[in-house]
Amino acid sequence: MARLAIGTEYFLFGGAGAISLLAFGVLILVPALSSYGRTWEKATAVVLSVFVLVALILLGIAIGVLIVYFWPQITSVLPGVD
C-alpha cells in the first residue's frame, strides 16, 4: 500500500488559509452582523462581505499570475536579481 506524503508547503498554505478565513469571520463578518437588527439586513451584509472576499481573492490570484507570467521582464528591470 502506497503512503501519500503531503509536503510541508501544503500544511503552511492550509494553515494560512484557515487563519485568513478565521480573521475574516472575526474582523469582518461578526461586526457586520452585529451592526444590523433585521434578518434581511444581516443576510445582505453577509452576501456583500463574501462578495468582497471573493473579489480580493480573485485580485490576488490575478496579480500572482501576472507576476509569474512577466517574471523575466520583472527580473531584467530589478538590479541584482538573476
> Across the chain, what does the average pLDDT equal?
90
What's the predicted TM-score (pTM) here?
Answer: 0.71
Give CA–CA dist 29/52, Å, rounded.
11
Q: Summarize pLDDT for 64-76 with one digit per residue, the tens.
A: 999 999 988 988 8
Residue 82: per-residue pLDDT: 64
**Which three three-digit cell numbers place residue 37?**
437588527
Q: Which residue has the cell 457586520?
A: 32
Range of the domain at 31: 9-77
Does a structural domain hold residue 63?
yes
Give CA–CA dist 10/1, Å, rounded.
22
Does a structural domain hold residue 67?
yes
Length of the chain as a residue count: 82
Does a structural domain hold residue 22?
yes
